[in-house]
């Protein structure tokens, strides 16, 4: 860590990376809030110039892109001196949150990048503390929600179970951290080297290493619109988190198989001994149960193997992770 007496502040150039999928309802408020934040950061001397907002439109079907385009084309003279500039990146279709975020992170200029959701659930009030943590030497600052008051009881419980499961599988992940985080240019350039197609960002950033810090924040309700993460998508992301970072499920499958085989061996012994002692085997039920149980175990094991084979299949094709349709706003070459 660098010497705390020589803080690396104010920051050089700060960019925000914000994936947006049908966020037209909430975007104007987001832009307003980030405008206020920019003024605050400038007046506190945390940044030297207004930030750049990189808004990634993930194939929205509402007015999201129109709003982004308009914000990006607003002439600088119209806005106040501290107003952030906006760059719009439009993906060719809906690629999903993780891909949209990656598209933004890999294309955004700036010395420091902060990724956040478009719905104001990643409370901007935590940003000064994130920047201060970076000033103390952290290359990555994780935004961690201090409570889950705004979540349903179901989401709270399933999230807790999920983090416990991941940990038990040996996956290193920051609990209650989604994708609200600050990353230095150095961390971003390191992230670039992870070119796997199936990217689970919050797992990958733990692999990067360097000095990191955690900043807690209260997660409010979504500002407008509804969650773009229905249960199905959430489960898919959860499964990706496990299979991208751990092969333990395969090993569990082997152990379960071994245990089942061992049990069937004991059952054979039992019936042979019973037969020798003149006891006939009645157990229709036990046979049916055993058949179903073994069949179930086998299918589970096959499913697990299938998950990994599928992953290998996707990786070998090396398809692009996102496709950019167009970019509007400040010239990508000259940075913020
Ligand atoms: N998002 C996206 N593509 C998608 C789904 C979501 O870019 O296919 C964005 C969305 O606009 C938001 C962020 O990802 O900025 C998080 O989504 P959401 O707030 O719906 O998730 P939740 O907070 O409910 O988990
Ligand atoms: Mg949200």
Whether the Cβ atoms of residue 142 and residue 177 lie closer than 8 Å to each other? yes
Distance (Å) from CA 229 to ligand 1 centroid = 6
CA angle 248, 252, 258 (to 5 degrees): 145
Which of the listed residues 16, 18, 20, 21 should we mutate to test ligand 1's pocket, taking the one with most ligand atoms within 8 A of CB?
A: 21
Torsion angles phi and psi, residue 295, rounded to 5: -55, -45
Name beta bridge partners: 216: 144
Architecture of domain 14-245+322-334: Alpha-Beta Complex (3.90)
User: Is omega for the bond preceding 314 within 30 degrees of 0, making it cis?
Assistant: no
Name the E strands within the chain: 14-20, 52-57, 85-91, 112-115, 140-145, 177-184, 212-217, 324-328
Q: Please count the other Cβ atoms lying within 10 Å of the Cβ belonging to residue 233.
A: 13
Could you tell me which of 234, 228, 214, 242 has the C-alpha nearest to residue 145? 214
pLDDT of the chain along its 336 residues, tens only? 444 444 567 778 999 999 999 999 999 999 999 999 998 998 888 888 889 999 999 999 999 999 999 988 876 655 566 788 899 999 999 998 999 999 999 999 999 999 999 988 898 999 999 999 998 989 999 999 887 776 778 878 888 888 888 888 888 888 888 899 999 999 999 999 998 887 888 888 888 889 999 999 988 777 777 887 777 887 888 888 888 888 888 888 888 888 888 888 888 888 788 888 877 667 766 777 778 778 888 888 888 888 888 888 888 888 888 999 999 887 655 544
Q: Is the CB of 119 under 6 A from ligand 1?
A: yes
Atom of ligand 1 nearest to the CA of 225: 20
pLDDT at 277: 84
CA distance 176 to 241: 14
**Residue 3 confidence (pLDDT):** 46
Is the minimum distance from the CB of 179 to ligand 1 under 6 angstroms? no
Strand partners, 327: 89
The residue whose two tokens read 């993460």 is 229
Residue nearest to atom 17 of ligand 1 (CA): 228
Please give the Cα distance from 64 to 55 (Å, whole number).
10
Cα separation, 119 vs 287, in Å, equals: 55
- Tell me the angle at which helices 27-43 and 127-135 cross, rounded to the nearest 10 degrees: 40
**C-alpha–C-alpha distance, residues 95 and 245, integer Å:** 21
State whether the beta carbon of 58 lies less than 6 angstroms from ligand 1: yes
Alpha carbon of 245 to ligand 2 centroid (Å)? 25
Residue 54 confidence (pLDDT): 95
Ion ligand 2 residue ranges (Cβ < 5 Å): 117, 119, 121
Any idea which ligand is nearest the CA of 228? 1
**Cβ(20) – ligand 1 distance below 6 Å:** yes
What is the per-residue pLDDT for 200?
84
pLDDT of residue 5: 47
- The three-point CA angle 215-218-222 to 5° equals 125
Please tell me if the CB atom of residue 227 comes closer than 6 angstroms to any atom of ligand 1. Answer: yes
Residue 142 Cβ inside 6 Å of ligand 1? The answer reads: no
With a 6 Å cutoff on the Cβ, whether 100 touches ligand 1 is: yes
Q: What is the position in ligand 1's atom list of the atom closest to the CA of 228?
A: 20
């Amino acid at each position: 860590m660098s010497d705390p007496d020589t803080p690396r502040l104010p920051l050089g150039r700060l960019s925000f990376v914000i994936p947006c999928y049908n966020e037209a309802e909430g975007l104007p408020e987001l832009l307003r809030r980030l405008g206020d934040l920019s003024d605050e950061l400038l007046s506190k001397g945390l940044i030297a110039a207004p930030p750049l907002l990189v808004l990634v439109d993930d194939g929205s079907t509402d007015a999201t892109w129109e709003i982004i385009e308009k914000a990006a084309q607003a002439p600088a003279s119209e806005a106040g001196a501290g107003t952030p500039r906006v760059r719009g990146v439009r993906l060719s279709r809906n690629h999903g949150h993780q891909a949209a975020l990656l598209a933004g992170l890999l294309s955004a200029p700036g010395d420091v990048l902060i990724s956040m959701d478009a719905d104001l659930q990643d409370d901007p009030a935590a940003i000064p503390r994130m920047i201060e943590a970076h000033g103390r030497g952290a290359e990555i600052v994780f935004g961690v929600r201090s409570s889950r008051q705004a979540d349903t009881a179901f989401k709270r419980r399933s999230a807790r179970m999920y983090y416990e499961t991941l940990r038990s599988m040996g996956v290193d992940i920051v609990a209650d951290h989604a994708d609200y985080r600050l990353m230095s240019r150095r961390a971003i350039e390191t992230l670039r080297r992870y070119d796997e197609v199936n990217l689970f960002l919050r797992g990958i950033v733990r692999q990067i290493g360097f000095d990191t810090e955690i900043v807690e924040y209260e997660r409010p309700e979504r500002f407008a619109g509804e969650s773009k993460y229905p249960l199905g998508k959430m489960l898919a992301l959860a499964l990706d988190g496990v299979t991208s970072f751990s092969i333990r499920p395969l090993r569990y499958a082997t152990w379960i198989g071994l245990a089942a085989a061992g049990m069937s061996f004991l059952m054979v012994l039992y019936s042979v001994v019973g037969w020798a002692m003149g006891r006939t085997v009645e157990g229709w039920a036990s046979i049916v149960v055993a058949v179903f149980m073994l069949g179930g175990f086998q299918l589970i094991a096959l499913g697990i193997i299938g998950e990994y084979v599928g992953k290998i299949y996707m990786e070998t094709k090396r398809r692009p992770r996102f496709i950019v349709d167009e970019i509007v706003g400040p010239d990508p070459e000259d940075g913020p």
